[in-house]
């Protein structure tokens, strides 16, 4: 398998022919349109090492995310960044390359925060490893974290070691009626006090809060916050809907914009339905033109991504400042001198 990967990469590099790295294809929609000859990573699969007491799991790129998460669940552990799968086919390699995180992100951290080490084949098919399988490691530049969200542009991620966490002993979801501005104000205030809020979602005057932690902490927080408790099953389904974009807000053909902004920025005054997550730091929007959305996100101190639908030709991600763009181009060249991996996926220039 590895020998095949290597041959494919070397042949592509010799001809400077683009390669499209792909796991289950669940994130084909994300980023610039995929192009190039297909390199399917699914054959290189399996959990390589997992010891619950080390809080570290190492698996190959083609491992289905579902399989990894089920294995962790059997030991009472989880991927705390709650990566969205967007379909049953999602693989670990794709999950890290996309670098997306789910509802628990604001409380627990993002995909990059849980990456401890990675092994990849670079653009010269060199088999290189960075980081490791221990909690702390500052030997060498942190290349493994750099891979999270790189959309496969730096190399073929072969293996990833992730920090995993115990599942919370208790979880409870509350529903509160709150207008947008008030919800944002409350979310920021709560985040500044020791409350075990592990997820939040506001939509149409209704704020859902998930509390996670020790039974006692969850109970005490629920009392303090008020609202209505949502039954266990319904709560699971609701958060899964938010994580997987199965919630009705995400259906339909209208373009879906993702605005990543400071959590305390005022309601974004743009037409179109909005759903707010991450304590105010993530705002989903179902309409809008490039110019208007980008300007609104930038003036709020954040950035916008055309997540699904809409006109990708005008750009998917927020443009990079010239100094950063130069660094990006050169880093890309350092890892992938022939420019073969997933061209255009993260940035039109490389």
Q: How far apart are CA 95 and CA 26, in angstroms?
A: 9
Candidates 9-17, 63-71, 148-156, 227-235 — which segment interacts with other proteins by CB under 8 A?
Answer: 148-156
Indicate whether 128 belongs to the interface with other proteins (CB under 8 A).
yes
Residue partners of 335: CB distance under 8 A and separation at least 6 = 122, 123, 153, 154, 155
By CB under 8 A, name the one of 63, 91, 150, 274 that touches other proteins: 150
Residue 252: CB minimum distance to other proteins, A:
26
Q: How far apart are CA 304 and CA 46, in angstroms?
A: 35
Closest CB to other proteins among 42 and 259?
259
Closest CB to other proteins among 273 and 327?
327
Indicate whether 6 belongs to the interface with other proteins (CB under 8 A).
no
Q: Per-residue x/- mask for other proteins, residues 11 to 50, rule CB under 8 A?
A: ----------------------------------------
By CB under 8 A, name the one of 148, 160, 293, 296 that touches other proteins: 148
Indicate whether 299 belongs to the interface with other proteins (CB under 8 A).
no
User: Nearest-CA neighbor of 255 among 310, 335, 325, 194?
Assistant: 310
Q: Which residues pair with 78 in a beta bridge?
A: 165
Closest CB to other proteins among 89 and 303?
303
Candidates 36-44, 189-197, 198-206, 225-233 — which segment interacts with other proteins by CB under 8 A?
Answer: 189-197
Residues 215-244 that bind other proteins (CB under 8 A): 215-217, 219-221
Indicate whether 71 belongs to the interface with other proteins (CB under 8 A).
no
Q: How far apart are CA 332 and CA 2, in angstroms?
A: 22
- The rounded Cα 136 to chain-centroid distance in angstroms is 22
Residue 88: CB minimum distance to other proteins, A:
26
Q: Which residues pair with 143 in a beta bridge?
A: none
Residues 79-118 that bind other proteins (CB under 8 A): 99, 105-106, 109-110, 112-113
By CB under 8 A, name the one of 191, 268, 275, 306 that touches other proteins: 191
Number of Cα atoms under 13 Å in the Cβ half of residue 70 = 7
Q: How far apart are CA 240 and CA 257, in angstroms?
A: 20
Closest CB to other proteins among 240 and 263?
263
Catalogue the E-assigned strands of the chain.
Answer: 19-22, 37-40, 47-51, 56-60, 77-78, 115-121, 127-131, 156-163, 165-166, 170-177, 197-203, 206-213, 228-230, 256-260, 274-277, 282-285, 303-308
Closest CB to other proteins among 74 and 136?
136
């Amino acid at each position: 398998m590895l020998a095949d990967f290597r041959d494919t990469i070397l042949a592509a590099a010799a001809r400077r022919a683009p390669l499209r790295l792909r796991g289950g294809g669940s994130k084909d929609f994300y980023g610039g349109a995929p192009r190039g000859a297909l390199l399917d990573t699914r054959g290189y699969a399996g959990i390589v090492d997992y010891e619950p007491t080390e809080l570290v799991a190492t698996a190959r790129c083609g491992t289905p995310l579902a399989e990894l998460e089920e294995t962790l669940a059997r030991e009472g552990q989880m991927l705390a960044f709650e990566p969205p799968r967007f379909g049953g086919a999602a693989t670990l390699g794709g999950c890290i390359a996309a670098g997306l995180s789910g509802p628990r992100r604001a409380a627990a951290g993002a995909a990059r925060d849980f990456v401890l080490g990675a092994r990849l084949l670079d653009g010269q098919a060199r088999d290189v490893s960075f980081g490791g399988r221990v909690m702390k490691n500052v030997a060498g530049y942190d290349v493994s974290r750099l891979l999270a969200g790189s959309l496969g542009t730096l190399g073929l991620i072969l293996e990833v070691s992730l920090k995993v966490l115990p599942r919370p002993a208790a979880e409870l979801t509350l529903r509160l009626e709150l207008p947008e501005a008030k919800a944002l104000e409350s979310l920021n205030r709560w985040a500044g006090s020791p409350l075990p809020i592990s997820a939040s979602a506001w939509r149409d005057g209704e704020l859902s809060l998930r509390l996670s932690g020790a039974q006692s902490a969850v109970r005490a927080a629920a009392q303090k916050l008020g609202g209505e408790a949502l039954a266990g099953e319904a709560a699971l389904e609701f958060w899964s809907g938010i994580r997987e974009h199965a919630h009705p807000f995400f259906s339909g053909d209208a373009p879906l914009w993702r605005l990543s902004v400071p959590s305390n920025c005022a309601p974004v005054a743009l037409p179109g339905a909005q759903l707010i997550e991450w304590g105010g730091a993530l705002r989903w929007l179902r309409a809008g033109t490039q110019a208007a959305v980008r300007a609104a996100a930038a003036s709020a101190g954040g950035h916008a991504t055309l997540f699904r639908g809409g006109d990708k030709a005008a750009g998917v991600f927020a443009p990079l400042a010239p100094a950063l763009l130069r660094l990006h181009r050169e880093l890309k060249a350092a890892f992938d001198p022939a420019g073969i991996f997933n061209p255009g996926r993260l940035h039109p220039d490389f």
